[in-house]
Structure 1
Amino acid sequence: MTPDIAPADPHPRPPRFDVPSPAWDCHAHVFGPVGRFPYAARREYTPPDQPLAAYLRMLDAIGVRHGVLSQPSVYGDDNRCLLDALRAAGGRLRGIVVADVLAMDDARLEALTADGVRGVRINMALPGGLPVALLDDVGARLRGSGWHLEIVLDKVGSLPALIPALRRAAVPVVIEQMGSVRVAAGPAPAGFAELAGLLRDGAVWAKISHPYKISAAPPAYRDTVPLARELVAAAPTRLLWGSDWPHPRVPGPMPNDGALLDLLYDWIDGDRAIAETILCRNPAQLYGPHAGGGRTDEEGTT
């Protein structure tokens, strides 16, 4: 259990622009304490403890009110760490779990919804990722639950094969990491135009996040700006921003979360109205009070 990756920057600075309120960070993780929540035996990295309290301090420092915790691969389908954090956060956070929802009864689904869970994560970049043929079944199982599907692609070029299933999905679908695009693939990577088209048609949502995984440059990842702006131009009303705190397996220097929020402002060319749309209005639709009856803490705790 000895950590083999670095912790997050412990001194996040405020961003350089006035963050609209109540803003959401739609992609983050918490880890540990490892004595309570051990990692899966088969994993690709071992993080240090990065607890809820540290995450909430980061949100406060950058002026963001709400967060969404996404189940990291090091825990497999053991969601106890995430669920513990949701309960302790008093309604401030939502969660995306890894779980076999086809084997889940209604009582369990309702209990997780009451805890603040709003979706299930499907990582197609991992061995055993959900086969495309099962997307219909999972969507049908979640219909009416207030949950959505969150999909991690192995690469944006894999997206076209999923398009028929995504367009007929019974629940909202969120594509992570700008579709797992890479700047190194060139100015028009295969599958990226299809992602923009799906956004434009309202068929999916996408997280504009993980610039250090997309970029071929050091911070401040300026080479990501054209790609992000292409998605913003397609459909700002279908985009979500995520910090990816505490940045597990970040290549290169550990980013400062205030600087990552500044990068979002570059992606949207400083447009205040779009900032409010991406940081406040869009996430409220997916994670807000309508889903399963849970409420954010401005309206009362879950």
Structure 2
Amino acid sequence: MTATAPALTGWDCHAHLFGPYARYPLAADRSYTPPEAPQADYAALLQRLGLGHGVLVHPSAYGTDLSLLLETLAERPAWRGVIVTRPGELPTLRGLRARGVRAARFSHRSGAGGNFAGSASLADLQALAPALADAGLHAELWTDTDALPAIADTIRALPLPVVIDHMGGFDLQAGPQAPGFQALRQLLAEGRVHVKLCVYRNLPGQALTPESGQAALPFLQALLQANPQQLLWGSDWPHLRVQPVPDAAALLQWLKHGVGDEARLRAILQDNPQRLYG
């Protein structure tokens, strides 16, 4: 008798799909044009990482067209989705949870780049928050530690859970004692936010090296000390607009090394995301 392989239970909580473009063309009004990254390639990545579940985040390059996300979720019941929408764009948010959707994503970023075309804003989040909560959905927010202190109380007042992307966009040079990162840590300690431990976009040149990975560990440790029960991990595959393209396996290994403790690692990769997305 052939032994049955154990079920894969871990979660990658941040990834994007693109294409095939013959079937799923990008929006005409977009900020970037990525190469195709189809669901079969992402499924192969999950298998290589030893994970069983993925969370797909609708990319701004698709504008208001959610067809790729929703059709993929129908084909992949172990995956979950995060939409992007603004007030008035969808007739209702009810029913999306039954289709595998768990959240809507919004952006509030500092700096000259600001938000991408096709993004939803913090004001959109405030307007949609009651309807999202009523539909059983949470909010995902792409922000950074320069912007976070000014909006911390706004986040506290929202009537639904909030997930902060990319470790809050911390400033490696400013260090974990910087006011912006401390604002993130306080929100996490209060249980007001979850935080995705996607690290590399905060590093010099956006490259994970032995040196930059070591320098980022104090930020990880500070979040672990604040509230390990609301931490998640995401690969951010297919690593858009970054050269060199990171290896998701190396990113996961950085997490495992930094967390160390098996119980906490299981919480981050399995228990916490299962509670939020399952």
Fold shared, TM-score > 0.5 on shorter chain: yes
- Which residue pairs with 2:127 in the alignment? 137
- Which residue pairs with 1:63 in the alignment? 50
- Which residue pairs with 1:247 in the alignment? 239
**Preserved CA contact (<8 Å) 1:20 1:276:** no
Higher relative contact order (CA 8 A, sep 6+): 1
- Residue 258 of structure 2 corresponds to residue 271 of structure 1: no
CA distance in 1, matches of 2:21, 2:74: 18
What is the CA-CA distance between 1:187 and the residue it aligns to? 4.7
- Which residue pairs with 2:225 in the alignment? 233
Q: How does 1:35-46 map to 2 (within 5 A)?
A: 35-46=22-33
SS state of the match for residue 149, structure 2? Answer: helix
- Which residue pairs with 1:119 in the alignment? 103
What is the CA-CA distance between 1:274 and the residue it aligns to? 0.4
**Preserved CA contact (<8 Å) 1:25 1:64:** yes
CA distance in 1, matches of 2:123, 2:35: 36
CA distance in 2, matches of 1:41, 1:184: 37
- Residue 195 of structure 2 corresponds to residue 206 of structure 1: yes
- Residue 84 of structure 2 corresponds to residue 92 of structure 1: no
CA distance in 2, matches of 1:28, 1:113: 19
Letter in 1 for 2:258: W
**Preserved CA contact (<8 Å) 2:7 2:52:** no
SS state of the match for residue 27, structure 1? Answer: strand
1:38–1:21 Cα change, 3 Å:
closer
What is the CA-CA distance between 1:190 and the residue it aligns to? 3.2
CA distance in 2, matches of 1:20, 1:266: 24
Percent sequence identity over matched residues?
40
**Preserved CA contact (<8 Å) 1:102 1:137:** no
**Preserved CA contact (<8 Å) 1:139 1:171:** yes
What is the CA-CA distance between 1:141 and the residue it aligns to? 1.2
Q: How does 1:1-302 map to 2 (within 5 A)?
A: 22-89=9-76, 91-100=77-86, 104-106=90-92, 109-125=93-109, 126=115, 130=120, 132-153=122-143, 155-209=144-198, 211-216=199-204, 218-220=207-209, 221-222=212-213, 223-250=215-242, 252-268=243-259, 270-288=260-278
What is the CA-CA distance between 1:264 and the residue it aligns to? 0.7
What is the CA-CA distance between 1:136 and the residue it aligns to? 3.5
Question: How many aligned positions are there?
Answer: 263
SS state of the match for residue 103, structure 2? Answer: strand
Letter in 2 for 1:138: L
Aligned alpha-carbon RMSD (Å) = 2.1
CA distance in 2, matches of 1:66, 1:177: 19
CA distance in 1, matches of 2:176, 2:127: 36
Normalised by the length of structure 2, the TM-score is: 0.87
What is the CA-CA distance between 1:131 and the residue it aligns to? 5.0
Q: What stretches of structure 2 of length at least 5 have no aligned partner?
A: 1-5, 110-114
**Preserved CA contact (<8 Å) 2:9 2:53:** yes
- Residue deviations 1:244-300 (CA, integer Å, cap 9, x gap): 0111112x32222211110111221x1100011111111112111xxxxxxxxxxxx
CA distance in 2, matches of 1:43, 1:195: 30
Letter in 2 for 1:254: V
- Residue deviations 1:195-228 (CA, integer Å, cap 9, x gap): 101111101111110x221112643341221111
CA distance in 2, matches of 1:248, 1:74: 11
**Preserved CA contact (<8 Å) 2:208 2:251:** no
SS state of the match for residue 94, structure 2? Answer: helix
CA distance in 2, matches of 1:166, 1:148: 12
**Preserved CA contact (<8 Å) 2:79 2:100:** yes
Q: What stretches of structure 1 of length at least 5 have no aligned partner?
A: 1-18, 289-302
**Preserved CA contact (<8 Å) 1:29 1:70:** yes
What is the CA-CA distance between 1:56 and the residue it aligns to? 0.5
CA distance in 1, matches of 2:155, 2:182: 15
Letter in 2 for 1:124: H
**Preserved CA contact (<8 Å) 1:196 1:234:** yes
